[in-house]
Amino acid sequence: MDLQRVLQFLLQRQGAGDACVLVTVCAVEGSSMRNPGSIMAVSETGEYEGSLSGGCIENAVVAEARQALEAGAPRVVRFGAGSPFLDIKLPCGGGLDVHFCPTVDHAFTAQCLDLIAQRTPFSIALSPSGAEVLREWRPTQFDPEADAGVFGHWPVPKIQIIGHGAAVEALVKLSPSMGCTNAVLTPDERLLPALKDYGPVTRLERINQTDLLNSDPWTALIFLFHDHDWEIDLMERALELPHFYIGAMGGRRAHAARCAALLARGVSQEKLDTIRAPIGVFHSSRDPQTLALSTLAQVIRTYHETDFAAQCERALG
């Protein structure tokens, strides 16, 4: 989920007048730290952002990127198993085909970042002639004979938190470490100034302000209320909105009461079964920081396990 960070580095260095290389993992053989589509950006100065391994080949990648700049043309290089570089090995025993593109310009980078800001799926197409932005998601494909491929990118997880208390603050401050964006709805006035630098924070004044909820297929809806009377109207609406995850704080007894109230509203059992409660990967957590970590781990795991292509097809259908 470091795509935006790498592209921001690329835009910054391009703005400073540096020639830069976009480096992309095209294919993986055996074990690897990174998947196809993972990127690095390398400046002519040797500075770089991103990683393609656990630190095994980054120096070699930088050297190869600077050679690609000198040649002025894209190339694909194999590292690890099957590579001509006998002294550069991946401890995992795998191999990576890596595309070096020294021809990306400011417009390419700005377009990628604009689509990321809009939370619009897009793809990057690579070929011997360079890199191109496609305004749609396409599944990963790479043709080693043609040194060409296409790599789709989904929006990063958006953490839409609805709740009050210290757990809200802990989760908001932790989630950027995983590249997530935040939005908060809370009746807790104390949180408004405390969280203003982490994303939109909106005062929730009534339990029926369901129009304040906003989501897309890449949104995790997280309810963190100790006072569960706040939840029912909002959760009923949340279950109707697009999302890849919905979870709620509270024990099994609280969740049973929550489900009974929602069933009485006409919410289907099928939808109720999608609510993660008790929330998180370990359910006995009591302190806010542990609860935030447990919840974020469950959200990120669910994000990586979700078939967004099928989900978006169902939404359009």
Cα separation, 154 vs 308, in Å, equals: 8
Instruction: Give me the residues of the chain with pLDDT under 70, please.
Output: 1, 30-33, 53-56, 80-94, 284-285, 312-317
77, 40 Cβ separation under 8 angstroms = no
SS3 51: coil
Please report the pLDDT score of residue 35 as a whole number: 85
Name the helix (H) or strand (E) containing 266: none
CA angle 263, 267, 273 (to 5 degrees): 85
pLDDT digits (tens, 9 = 90+) for 203-261: 999 999 999 999 999 999 999 998 888 999 999 999 999 999 999 998 899 999 999 99
The pLDDT of residue 182 is: 95
Q: Is 304 exposed, middle or buried (0-12, 13-18, 19+ CB in 10 A)?
A: exposed
Rounded CA separation 150/43 (Å): 23
Q: Is 111 exposed, middle or buried (0-12, 13-18, 19+ CB in 10 A)?
A: middle
The pLDDT score that the predictor gives to residue 56 is 65
Give first-to-last CA distance, the chain, whole Å: 28
Strand 181-186 and strand 75-80: the pairing is unpaired
| pLDDT for res 29 | 77
The dihedrals phi and psi of 34, each to the nearest 5 degrees, come to -125, 155
pLDDT tens digit sequence for 77-104: 888 655 555 445 555 556 788 999 998 8
**Cβ 14 vs Cβ 20: under 8 Å:** yes
